[in-house]
């Protein structure tokens, strides 16, 4: 294995397009909750009603802006790829991160599906490595594809010599 094979580079595959709706729904839910929080005291406490309603309007406006922009931006940035030698990811929407994890450094491979991910038919694959940077997560994959990726990574890491440390 040459060092050229493991250079940091943009990964090839995009996440599933349904991830846009998953991220949008999550962001909208957070926006609604954060907007309602100041409305409740505004209904109860007359002297500061105006300021609580202003806060609700600002939170709601910013939240809606993020809900419209963030999912599209994340979809453009989030990429992943699994090769015979490594896992490559690109993620983030404000702070973007490119990572590469050699197969010999992979310790565990996990899949996760929250209730909202299940509703959209999506899963996440988490690859834990012997790295101080923490695990690599590929979020927004089709559930079947995530299962295949986890199986492929498990098979590949078993075949690669090394102790993942």
Give mean pLDDT in consecutive 10-residue pieces for the chain, a chain of 165 residues.
59 95 97 95 90 96 97 94 91 88 91 96 94 90 96 85 61
Q: Note the pLDDT tens digit of each residue in 102-139.
A: 898 899 999 999 999 999 999 999 999 988 888 999 99
Provide the pLDDT for residue 124: 97
1-165, what's its fold? PH-domain like (2.30.29)
Q: What is the pLDDT of residue 2?
A: 44
How many residues belong to the chain?
A: 165
Residue 141 CB partners (closer than 8 Å, separation 6+) = 15, 16, 80, 122, 123, 124, 125, 149
Backbone φ and ψ of 57, nearest 5°: -65, -45
What's the mean per-residue pLDDT of the chain?
Answer: 90
Whole-number pLDDT of residue 137: 94
Are 4 and 29 in contact by the 8 Å Cβ rule? The answer is: no
């Amino acid at each position: 294995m040459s060092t050229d094979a493991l250079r940091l580079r943009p990964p090839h595959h995009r996440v599933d397009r349904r991830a846009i709706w998953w991220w949008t729904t999550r962001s909208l839910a957070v926006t609604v909750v954060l907007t309602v929080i100041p409305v409740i005291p505004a209904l109860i406490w007359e002297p500061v009603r105006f300021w609580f309603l202003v806060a609700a309007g600002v939170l709601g406006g910013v939240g809606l802006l993020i809900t419209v922009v963030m999912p599209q931006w994340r979809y453009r940035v989030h990429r992943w790829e699994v090769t015979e030698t490594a896992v490559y990811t690109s993620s983030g929407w404000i702070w973007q991160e490119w990572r590469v994890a050699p197969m010999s450094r992979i310790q565990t491979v996990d899949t996760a599906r929250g209730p909202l991910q299940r509703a959209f038919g999506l899963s996440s694959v988490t690859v834990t490595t012997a790295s101080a940077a923490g695990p690599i997560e590929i979020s927004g994959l089709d559930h079947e594809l995530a299962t295949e990726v986890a199986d492929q990574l498990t098979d590949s890491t078993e075949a690669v010599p090394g102790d993942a440390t």
